[in-house]
Amino acid sequence: MVRALVTDYVHPLLIDGLKERGYEVDYNTNVNMDTLPEVIHRYTLVVINSKIRMFKDIIDLAPMLKFICRLGSGLEIIDLEYAAKKNIQVINTPTGNNNAVAEHAMGMLLALANNLIRADREVRQFQWNREKNRGWELKGKTLGIIGFGHTGSQFAKKLSSWELNILSYDKYRSEYGPEWDFVDKVALEDILNKSDVISLHLPMTEETRNFVDWDFINRCKDKVIILNTSRGKVVKTLDLVEALEEGRVGGACLDVFENEKPHTYSHSETNTYTRLNSMENVVLSPHIAGWTFESLEKIAQVTLNKIDFAI
């Protein structure tokens, strides 16, 4: 019997589905990078999330491995080239949570535009500050989407009836098709020059690391709003914080961060994030944009479908 290792919390559908396909499943969410090398040799299939890195040193310890299944979309945690060399099929599930990410991005943007986080906090403290919390509307604004893949396109679809001007830039997508006629495909400079709001939907690669830095910001429209629900290292946090403090950036919605482990912050990181966390023109969440009950099940089903297709 072939064996599968599931290292993170998943919907029962995935466990049951693997068993139905003949796998003996070890569902162990306590496995980490310290313990994985001791057990990985037993498995034909491994299901991972962000805490596990499948690089050459681990892959070399897994002579029977045929599948690496990534819950979600990000593939920076897998050495794709080496996996291919070893004839290991890599499966990810961007269509399992792209709707969840798009809805979360919308929620963050609306919360920022209408001062909902501050207003909620003040009402709970019996403060009634209507003028202080006057918001702004999306209608008539220009929204720029950088990265028009699974999540970027879903975000555009959500906003298609909101009477916005929607621009997009994707270096690796030449055609969009007729269903995206409401989206103007433009150059990056057009996004920066024209957008009131810029939403980032990029993978984590060396090309996108620190994609948003002072140079990027200085090329943007004044008081631009920046949303990031993709990968934290796409944004150089210190540059964004300084731009927010100076008023060069009008606000930010961040679900992802350069360092997502607060207990590991250096002194300088603590200072940077303390400054960010104190701002009222930002909306922050702990990398949960794709984290819904529905996406948990959809990711399980997409994983199983892809395994079936690959076999």
3-state secondary structure 190-243: HHHHHCCEEEECCCCCCCCCCCECHHHHHCCCCCEEEEECCCHHHECHHHHHHH
- Whether 44 shows a pLDDT value over 90: the answer reads yes
Superfamily per CATH, domain 98-284? NAD(P)-binding Rossmann-like Domain (3.40.50.720)
- Residue 253 CA, chain-centre distance (Å), reads 12
Active site residue 260: yes
- Whether 45 shows a pLDDT value over 90: the answer reads yes
Judge whether 2-92 and 98-284 match in fold: yes
pTM across the whole model: 0.94
Give the pLDDT mean for 133-142.
98
User: Which is the catalytic residue, given 245, 260, 280, 294?
Assistant: 260
Kindly state the DSSP code that residue 34 receives in the 8-state scheme: T
User: Which is the catalytic residue, given 70, 201, 231, 258?
Assistant: 231
User: pLDDT class for 202, splitting at 50, 70, 90?
Assistant: very high
User: pLDDT class for 74, splitting at 50, 70, 90?
Assistant: confident
Give the pLDDT mean for 295-304.
97
The confidence score (pLDDT) of residue 50 equals 86
Architecture of domain 2-92: 3-Layer(aba) Sandwich (3.40)
- Whether 73 shows a pLDDT value over 90: the answer reads no
Q: Which residues pair with 18 in a beta bridge?
A: none
The confidence score (pLDDT) of residue 310 equals 86
User: pLDDT class for 31, splitting at 50, 70, 90?
Assistant: very high
Would you kindly state where each structural domain of the chain is located, as residue ranges? 2-92, 98-284
Task: Kindly give, in sequence order, each residue whose CB lies less than 8 Å from that of residue 272, ignoring residues fewer than 6 positions away.
Answer: 237, 238, 241
The confidence score (pLDDT) of residue 311 equals 73
- Residue 158 CA, chain-centre distance (Å), reads 17
User: pLDDT class for 107, splitting at 50, 70, 90?
Assistant: very high
Q: Which residues pair with 305 in a beta bridge?
A: none
Angstrom CA distances, 183 to 84, 270, 280, stand at 35, 39, 31
Give the pLDDT mean for 260-271.
97
Give the pLDDT mean for 273-284.
98
Convert the pLDDT of each residue in 143-175 to its tens digit: 999 999 999 999 999 999 999 999 999 999 988
User: Which is the catalytic residue, given 21, 173, 275, 287?
Assistant: 287
Active site residue 231: yes
Q: Percent helix, strand and coil across the chain, each rounded to 5?
A: 40, 20, 40
